[in-house]
Amino acid sequence: MGQSIQQPFLRQSYRLYMVLFFIFLAAPLIAAGLFAFNDSLFPVLPWRGFTLDWFFNDTEPKLGMFHDRRLLRGLYYSFIIACFVSMLSVFVGTCNAFLFVRHDFPAKNFFYILMVLPLVIPGVILGISILAMASNIANSVEKSMGIDLELLRPGIFLVVLGQFSFITTITSLIITARLKKFDDTMEEAAFNLGASKTHVLRTITLPFLRPAMIAGGIVAFLVSFENFNTTLFLVGSEAPLTITMYDRMVKVGSTPVLNAVSFFLMLGSALLALISVLVQRDTKT
């Protein structure tokens, strides 16, 4: 590999370009994470020494994130939402994978494009369209039957639906890719050895899909956790973390506690991403 670039000068410049690119990628993340440890009331230079106050301190003005009730509540809601979204989207994604890999039906290609579509619809539009429809239904039900469908008003349920609507595309693509690599004779072999259809599914096909399902679930969890555009329109009083942070940023201005949250989130994401990579690597051998 790499035989196409022979001149040392070009090769070195290419390397330099890559290094610069990764510095560009890393710079804002480092800035966002590093100021969490600066012993100052504002996330600005100069460096005033190392502190963990923005994580653990329990008094104002340096209230640490683990004592900030609103941030903690946001974290909790984000967690709940992400759990629901990843479970639902992995379930539907697995069904979709079987549907598109194992079955033939009219207009399959059209339906496949429909499946991919939510990924390219702007999140803002997904948010408002679902909000508009839910309110519409809720209003008509209220008018005709006098029942207030709390569920269809902005809140956790709608946030889950909104995020689920496009995250399912991601999990479907991940699980479909894996199912396509499945060697169909493996099912026949199991069948030939005396297994029933459900037993084959349970012992052969699903274990083969498991790494992709776990990876899809983790991706769904992370994308849900960090989503902002769709959530913004559907959120009720139970604001997830990104919304809480945004509020804080716009209303209070940036304080190092936001850096602490950023650092915490980046750490969590990195860990989850690592797990998903390890799970997938496990199956390549």
Determine, following the binding rule CB under 8 A, whether residue 278 of this chain makes contact with another protein.
no
Beta bridge partners of 43: none
Widest CA span of the chain, in angstroms?
78
Instruction: Give 58 or 92: the residue with its C-beta nearer to another protein.
Output: 92
Q: Which stretch binds another protein (CB under 8 A): 51-59, 68-76, 141-149, 268-276?
A: 268-276
Among 12, 136, 139, 140, binds another protein (CB under 8 A): 136
Among 37, 176, 216, 257, binds another protein (CB under 8 A): 176
Instruction: Give 119 or 151: the residue with its C-beta nearer to another protein.
Output: 119
Instruction: Give 130 or 156: the residue with its C-beta nearer to another protein.
Output: 130
Instruction: Give 40 or 57: the residue with its C-beta nearer to another protein.
Output: 40
CA angle 79, 85, 88 (to 5 degrees): 140
Determine, following the binding rule CB under 8 A, whether residue 189 of this chain makes contact with another protein.
yes
- Quote the tokens at residue 254: 């940036």
Beta bridge partners of 114: none
The one-letter amino acid code at 30 reads I
In angstroms, what is the minimal distance from the CB of 55 to another protein? 16
Closest by CA position to 102, among listed 167, 160, 176: 176
In angstroms, what is the minimal distance from the CB of 282 to another protein? 10
Site for another protein in 69-128 (CB under 8 A): 91-92, 95-96, 98-99, 103, 105, 109, 111-126, 128
In angstroms, what is the minimal distance from the CB of 67 to another protein? 21
Site for another protein in 229-248 (CB under 8 A): 229, 232-233, 242, 245-246
CB 262 within 8 A of CB 55: no
Determine, following the binding rule CB under 8 A, whether residue 195 of this chain makes contact with another protein.
yes
The one-letter amino acid code at 35 reads F
Distance CA 106, CA 267 (A): 46
Alpha carbon separation from 85 to 165, 171, 187, 260 (Å, rounded): 9, 11, 30, 25
Q: Which residue is associated with the tokens 């599914």?
A: 201
- Quote the tokens at residue 189: 């072999």
Q: Which stretch binds another protein (CB under 8 A): 50-58, 59-67, 144-152, 227-235?
A: 227-235
Among 12, 16, 23, 29, binds another protein (CB under 8 A): 29
144 HSE (CA, 13 A, CB side): 6
Q: Which stretch binds another protein (CB under 8 A): 37-45, 55-63, 69-77, 79-87?
A: 37-45
Q: Which residue is associated with the tokens 């070009």?
A: 10
In angstroms, what is the minimal distance from the CB of 87 to another protein? 13
Please work out the total of residues on this chain that contact another protein, with binding judged by CB under 8 A: 107
Determine, following the binding rule CB under 8 A, whether residue 207 of this chain makes contact with another protein.
yes
227: left (phi over 0), alpha (psi -120 to 50) or beta: beta
